[in-house]
Amino acid sequence: MSWFGIEGHDEIVRRFQRAIAQGRIASTFLFLGPSGIGKRMFAERLAMTLQCEKNDPRLMEPCGKCMSCRQALAHEHPDILYVSKPEDRAFIPIDLFIGPKDARRQIGLCSELAKKPIYEKRKIAIIDDADYFNLEGANAMLKTLEEPPKNAILILIGTSAARQLPTIRSRCQILRFSPLEIPVVESILYQKRAEQLALAESVAEAVSVQKETKRTGKTAGKSVGKNAGKSVGKTAGKSASKDGAGDVIREELIPRIAAHSNGSIQEALALADPDFWEFRNRFLRLLAEGVRERDALVGEIDQQLESAGKVPALRRARLRVMLETVSDFFRRLSFRLSGFQPADGAASEEWRVLLETAVQSWPLDAEGAASAALKTADYLELVQRNVHQPTLLDAWIDEILRIRSGDLAAFLFAPWSLNPNP
């Protein structure tokens, strides 16, 4: 079931429905779960539900048409407040909570929450990027979290409990959002592809109109065609850039993308570039041949991470799939060296050729290959825990090269020492 376009979180919808019906909705929530699974959209739709002027919130069905709903959809509702970490800052600035030094407690989120609601209902604050509270910001919010103003609701959004300061975590009702199931991700990607195709078609039509009006010299038509072409073309460019897919998601890649998405639409879109899957094939060949030069491996990885842009979640998605590929490679190599084949179709011609090459290139027996797979899986877990990527990559590459050289001491290194939040 989809709740206003939000897939996979039906149980949390029912929990809110029951709480609202019983008049027992909490005042402070902490939404936790991987990036790109709909937590922020859920918070926004919940706020719209609670502010709707027409429908009873117990229905969990905001009308979407009243003034309050329209303002909520446009992010212009005076009683729905938003705070998020600026892109150029490491943490959420304290000024966003209690105002700048020359106006402490006079402006900022805490001050706005204490004011009377414009629509006479309630004030709702959505704090995105709760992973990026520092101690100063958390202390500034402490009183508001402990004793929220009457009819105020705070919704904090983060990725994991381990990344929340104890002063924040202990004062919130925690709701855990699960990754989306693979069929749900596939369905959303097919919908996204249909939208991209429709947009591409409208762009092509606008360009055609523009060319035709130029050819015929009709002034009115020329103006319309020119504006339409610019408008639609600009929209298409923004859409392509936002998706990270370039143009239209290739239909044949969708099942593979969904399978590697970690249940996140954000990560799925980061993997939608066909060039990434071509890189994956080159990367596998490089692994099979024994990774003889550090520079070759580093160059391939750096190029792919840079092409994902500067958004940490997108870079993390690509790094995660790289490490999944390495772990799977060593797992399959272990099976090959032990004389068995995994039951998941690893005997394809592509894998057969790669593994035959790897047997000659890597100084490993079946147990050593299995250990390399498990070791890489440890690094994969650290990616999920948001360990500093350059540090993680350097340590992993060093370890792979030591394994390649036959240095068995590499298996004794504990990558968990890289994790600042064990």
Q: Which residues, other chains included, contact 127 with Cβ-Cβ below 8 Å and sequence gap of 6+? A: 83, 84, 92, 109, 154, 155, 156, 157
β-bridge pairing 2-3 and 6-7: antiparallel
Q: Are residues 76 and 163 in the same domain?
A: yes
Q: Are residues 53 and 24 in the same domain?
A: yes
* Residue type for position 242: K
Contact 270, 318 (CB under 8 A): yes
Residue 139: the pLDDT is: 93
Tell me the helix, strand and coil percentages in the chain, rounded to 5: 60, 5, 30
Residue 415: the pLDDT is: 54
Q: Would residue 259 count as lying in a domain?
A: no
Q: Where does a domain end: 251, 283, 303?
A: 251
Residue 411: the pLDDT is: 53
Nearest-angstrom CA–CA distance, 359 and 17: 58
Residue 261: the pLDDT is: 84
Q: Are residues 114 and 192 in the same domain?
A: no
Q: Are residues 12 and 75 in the same domain?
A: yes
Domain span at residue 233?
A: 182-251
pTM value surpassing 0.85: no
Angle, vertex CA 192, rays to CA 188 and CA 197, nearest 5: 150
Which tokens sit at 396? 């992993």
Q: Are residues 10 and 146 in the same domain?
A: yes
Q: Would residue 34 count as lying in a domain?
A: yes
Q: Which residues, other chains included, contact 205 with Cβ-Cβ below 8 Å and sequence gap of 6+? A: none
Residue 246: the pLDDT is: 45
For the chain, how far is it from start to end, CA to CA, in angstroms?
36
Q: Are residues 220 and 286 in the same domain?
A: no
Phi/psi at 273 (5° precision):
-75, 120
Q: Would residue 262 count as lying in a domain?
A: no
The neighbouring-strand residues paired with 83 are 127
Q: What is the mean pLDDT of each run of 10 residues along the chain (422 residues)?
A: 83 94 93 92 96 93 95 96 88 94 91 92 94 91 91 94 89 94 93 91 86 71 48 43 59 90 85 85 89 81 82 79 87 88 57 90 90 86 78 87 74 51 46
Q: Would residue 98 count as lying in a domain?
A: yes
Which tokens sit at 103? 């106006």
